[in-house]
Amino acid sequence: MSTGAPQEHVDCGIVVVTYNSARHIERLLDSIPGAAGGLRTRCVVVDNDSRDETVSIVRARSDAELVEAGGNLGYSAAINIGRSVIGPCSSVLILNPDLVLESGAIAELDKALSAPDAGVAVPMMCNEDGSLYLSLRRELTLLGTLGDALFGDRWSSRPAALSETMRDKAAYQRPCDVAWATGAAFLVSTACDGAVGDWDADRFFLYAEEIDFTRRARDRGFRVRYVPTARTRHESGGSGRSAQLRALMAVNRIRYYEKYHGHLATELFRGIAVFHHLLRSARDEDRFSLRRVLRRGSWSQLPHAQARRDARMDIGS
């Protein structure tokens, strides 16, 4: 990239967003060739100002190009940077760094995009021990959000309308269309990527960006396909765990709902979020989230994009 030479068209451009990901990034990059199944790939790692050894690890490799974002700009903004520099490709694969792709996973996702109107393909997500992670989701609704607030992970066989998560494990064994899936791995056709455009970095620093992107893709006539023959293993919480991040997740769900619904419906949705954390207020992290959800003026204090004063985009290999 630093030579300015024209880039060769590849089957799949891969964008990995890192932030203090030294513990994971090599395992992910090592898994890409086997997962590609012969597809031509190009990988760009966009680093959000890591303070560990992530940058030096990626710089030392010949199979990934490094883009330093010049600050912790957030997941959506880093994806947009990666999309802007990945070069000509037939699809764009967005990956969290704390994944390992199983053999043929990218190739299987790529096959799914050949179906009519398929714009996004998502894999089966497994925990590190190989057990199934329930990654498939329905569109956010008042009733589904209320059901999850009341029952959480209990009563897994409850009616679908009472849960955002698809909880029937048998459904994960067959391909299907879904509203969205957790955003650790997303293969997007270039047609869909072009039609939807930038990920919404203004609203979504981290969390809910995948809900928004797939909503916009579906609104433009593209299907989101679940591909059980494409398997990945994921370390849950690899982007970090903190009360601030849990509160941000709750707030960004409200921001997403507000983007597509009126004031009254949004206030009802926020009320259910209050109820959710109130029911769990014996835990410190839920009390913190409750305070943040209640006080809209405090939302700006949650994690948000931070550029360094000396920021400049540094593209290297």
Assign 3-state DSSP to the chain and report helix, strand, coil percentages, each to 5.
40, 20, 40
The DSSP H or E segment spanning 241 is: none
pLDDT of residue 237: 52
Query: Which two three-digit tokens encode residue 56?
Result: 């030096």
The full set of domains in the chain, from first to last, is 10-239 (3.90.550.10), 243-301 (no CATH)
pLDDT, tens only, 71-88: 999 999 999 999 999 999
Q: How far apart are CA 179 and CA 144, in angstroms?
A: 13
Identify the residue whose tokens are 């897994």: 156
User: For residues 40 and 12, is the Cβ–Cβ distance under 8 A?
Assistant: yes
Helix and strand numbers (H, E) in the chain are: 10, 14
Q: How far apart are CA 270 and CA 296, in angstroms?
A: 10
**Helix 243-260 with 209-219: angle, nearest 10 deg:** 20
What sections of the chain are H helices per DSSP?
25-36, 54-59, 75-85, 105-112, 142-151, 190-196, 209-219, 243-260, 263-279, 284-294
**Regions of the chain where pLDDT drops below 70:** 1-5, 236-240, 309-317
